[in-house]
Amino acid sequence: MTSMSKRFALGIFDDEDVLLHAIENVREAGVKIYEVFTPFPIHGIDDALGIERSRLPIAAFFLGMTGLSFALWMQIYMLGFDWPMIIGGKPHIALPAFIPVAFELTVFFTCHGMVITFYTISSLYPRWKTPVLDVRSTDDKFVVAIEMNEKTDLNHLTQLLRANGASEVNEKEMTKF
């Protein structure tokens, strides 16, 4: 075993309700779950795994505020200060007329900032090859991955996962995962 590779015990489940109970029981038994891979989002899995609520909404708010401030600054600076023009005798800084662009840029910054943040913090980017622990985890299986070291007793883990409804327990070694 090289230092780069990791060994995993994979508990394969067929049903998300069984999975949720299993996650709770496995964690209660003191086993640390490395990651759970599922084909679709499961409600309640965050609580079961102890995943904290995402702070993305806070980021969204500040991104939106950035867009709004930028849009207002841009319009007021360009038409109000940099090159004031008389358009139909209206005020140079015609705030009501600036609202549509301010709104659109608020949405633009929120949305794109959000998506960029999401892909960045989740390290999602195009890659030539995507190694997965079990290819069925994007189809119809729910995979609980438990990282093993020299001291881990695979038999004990297998029993624990089986007892909690796993249909299979596999061992998998991955380099660079």
By CB under 8 A, residue 86 contacts other proteins: no
88-147 residues near other proteins, rule: CB under 8 A? 88, 90, 94, 97-98, 100-101, 103-105, 107-108, 110-112, 114-115, 118-119, 121-130, 132-133, 135-140
Q: Which of 28, 89, 155, 176 binds other proteins (CB under 8 A)?
A: 28
Q: Which amino acid is at 133?
A: L
CA atoms of 63 and 85, how far apart (whole Å): 31
**Dihedral sign, CA of 133, 136, 139, 140?**
negative
Q: Cβ of residue 30: shortest distance to other proteins, in angstroms?
A: 14
CA atoms of 150 and 25, how far apart (whole Å): 23
Structure-token pair, residue 56: 């993305």
CA atoms of 137 and 17, how far apart (whole Å): 16
Q: In this complex, which beta carbon is closest to other proteins, that of residue 144 or of residue 150?
A: 144
62-81 residues near other proteins, rule: CB under 8 A? 64, 74-75, 78-79
Q: Cβ of residue 50: shortest distance to other proteins, in angstroms?
A: 10
Structure-token pair, residue 175: 């380099």
Residues touching other proteins, count (CB under 8 A):
83
Residue with the two structure tokens 């049903």? 15
CA atoms of 51 and 143, how far apart (whole Å): 17
Q: In this complex, which beta carbon is closest to other proteins, that of residue 28 or of residue 150?
A: 28
Q: Which of 5, 62, 65, 87 binds other proteins (CB under 8 A)?
A: 87
Of 59, 26, 22, 29, the C-alpha closest to 44 is 22
Q: In this complex, which beta carbon is closest to other proteins, that of residue 126 or of residue 150?
A: 126
| Binding window for other proteins (CB under 8 A); candidates: 3-11, 45-53, 151-159 | 45-53
